[in-house]
Chain A
Amino acid sequence: MSDLQNVISARGLDLTFQTNDGPVHALKGVDLDIKQGDFVSFIGPSGCGKTTFLRVMADLEQPTGGEITVNGVSPRAAREARAYGYVFQGAGLYPWRTIGGNIRLPLEIMGVPKAEHADRVARVLELVELSGFENKFPWQLSGGMQQRASIARALSFNADLLLMDEPFGALDEIVRDHLNEQLLKLWERTEKTIAFVTHSIPEAVYLSTKIVVMSPRPGRITDVIESTLPKERPLEIRETPEFLAIAHRVREGLRAGHADE
């Protein structure tokens, strides 16, 4: 059904969790297309279903209604084809593996020939600017560096789609700015499609080509904003009127979602 250009295509997607307090509508009637090479941010208050939506794309949650395809196939088939790299809220590095060992983990599990490991590890470490840290253990790195290592891990097996669930949520503002800048560069260099969950308006506006505003109870999309910002984005762009106008629209969208209650 989906045209080949669409990496993600969702139509009327529903997901209802059955809890002891009755059903919770995490997603209701969600329609969305993500094109090849898009950087799409999902923003909204907690409970709006943004993480759930990402987990549905990753086949970590099963929708209860509607349709979704990832690369034109079901999320399950996409997961089995190792079509995406997933970056979690915490770095989640295995403490008993070095940084290099952590990056090799998906390669080992996917059966990538051993001879390629060293090259790939070196390449992704360079992408996240962690060259030279290969033999360090996670506890020897700062929180920001650990998160970069987890991004490198998600990049190591060359999936074209990157799903990121508030990857910088636990980091301080300064580190976050730096990582946002790096992530944009990385996106430009690798031409990946990125779906990025956040609850920071500046982060969403700064990074995205498309901003999806969501609201809770039931979790749904209230606005989809195509960014008019240029591809080249220095940090200072955040003070331009154009940037502020988009941020304003995001804020309005979030407020509208709340007014419904």
Chain B
Amino acid sequence: MKSVIPVLTVVVAILGFWLLAVIPMNMHLVADQAQREGMLVEPDTPAVRQEIGGIGLALRNPDLIPLTYQFKRPRLPSPQQVAGEMFDTIFAKKVTSKRSLVYHGWVTLAPTLLGFAIGTGLGILLAVGIVYSRVMDRSVMPWAIVSQTIPILALAPMVIVVLGSMGIQGLFPKSLIAAYLSFFPVVVGMVKGLRSPSAMQLDLLRTYNASDTQSFWALRLPASAPYLFASLKIGISASLVGTIVAELPTGARAGFGARMLVGDQYGQPLVSWAALFAAALTAAALVGLFSAIERVTLRRMGMGAA
């Protein structure tokens, strides 16, 4: 709870900057529109106005400033416009409507969760293999690292198109991209976690003549819990990014990615911005959910005080 005030301070600073930026960003558009509607604008030709900056134009036409906050197709929408659009598309529309952000959110969330589950499962399995097998340690780890150097933006369309040509569409291809992004932090975290027991803790089990399986369940796995949670929080947000990226280049009709693209292509910045913020809030909620699970689990494991 101590972090509330610093976080709020940052939010207020960003909002302030945003509010200020709206004026010069939209000033020229507002001025052109106002002139068309017969208002007096200084200077009075668009070409001359282009010569001066947004701030200069705002200073010469102070009475136009309020209009920059409610311009219909702004370059930069104001916070209240984005909030209004979000309220409208989240609460006021029926969930089944194609304009409902809840609908689009679910279209994105479902593959995110599926991909995250696949990625986490795969990541844990690979980590166990890497820790217990020298061969896998040498062979898998370098490839896991290389896999993350391939730009996902280049890879995603190929995967989607190839799978699409095989008749696989919808949820699964997007999940695959999400899994591709989320398995890596899980592998890295779990390898570190499974190797975190000290030599003394391992020696102790040796004096009990414990088998590898027993030391895995009794020592390595519980010792890796804090590392796993750190990885899960990175993995779930990576999954969401992966799903959105998978929606962008392929003409998907639904999902946050599709909304962002549609807003861009059809000159509806509000749609893009609302989708962007909804995606960010979804990511925050998912990370928050895992933080809560982490807190409860580690406390029950007696590690909450650390």
Contacts and interface: CB of A to CB of B under 8 A. Distances in A.
Majority SS at the chain A contact face: loop
Nearest to A91: B200
Contacts of A84: 207
Contacts of B203: 60, 86, 88
A171 B275 CA distance: 59
B interface bracket (residues with beta carbon within 8 Å of A): 20 to 34
Interface in B191-208: 198, 200-201, 203-208
A96 B226 CA distance: 11
B302 A95 contact: yes
A98 B206 CA distance: 21
A86 B204 contact: yes
A84 B219 CA distance: 21
A139 B210 contact: no
A32 interface: no
A79 B209 contact: yes
B306 to A, nearest CB: 7
A80 B211 CA distance: 11
Nearest to A85: B207
A86 to B, nearest CB: 4
A92 B302 CA distance: 15
Given A90-B200, A96-B222, A79 B305 contact: no
Tell me which of B200, B225, B302 has the highest count of chain A C-beta atoms within 10 A of its own C-beta: B302
B1 interface: no
B50 interface: no
B204 A88 contact: yes
A27 B46 CA distance: 92
A97 B302 contact: yes
B303 to A, nearest CB: 5
Contacts of A58: 207
Given A80-B209, A109-B210, A95 B198 contact: no
B218 interface: yes
Interface in A224-247: none
Interface in B255-306: 301-303, 305-306
A79 B210 contact: no
A17 interface: no
B204 A92 contact: yes
A110 B208 CA distance: 7
B114 to A, nearest CB: 30
A187 interface: no
Nearest to A60: B203
Given A94-B222, A109-B218, A88 B208 contact: no
A95 B207 contact: no
A13 B305 CA distance: 46
Nearest to B215: A109
B169 interface: no
Contacts of B201: 92, 94
A94 B219 contact: yes
Interface string A81-115: 01011101110101111100000011011100000
A138 interface: yes
Interface in B216-238: 218-219, 222-223, 225
Interface in B163-217: 198, 200-201, 203-210, 214
A137 interface: yes
A109 B302 contact: no
Given A60-B206, A88-B200, A88-B204, A108 B306 contact: no
A92 B208 contact: no
A96 B301 contact: yes
Interface in A150-171: 157
A82 B305 CA distance: 34
A59 B204 CA distance: 12
Interface string B55-67: 0000000000000
A106 B218 CA distance: 10
Given A60-B206, A109-B218, 15 more contacts: A79-B207, A79-B209, A84-B207, A89-B200, A94-B218, A94-B222, A95-B301, A95-B303, A96-B223, A105-B208, A109-B205, A110-B209, A139-B302, A139-B306, A157-B208
12 contacts: A59-B206, A60-B206, A79-B206, A79-B207, A84-B207, A85-B207, A86-B207, A94-B222, A96-B301, A138-B302, A139-B305, A139-B306
In the complex, the 5 A-B pairs of residues with the closest C-beta atoms, listed nearest first: A137-B302, A96-B301, A86-B207, A109-B210, A109-B208
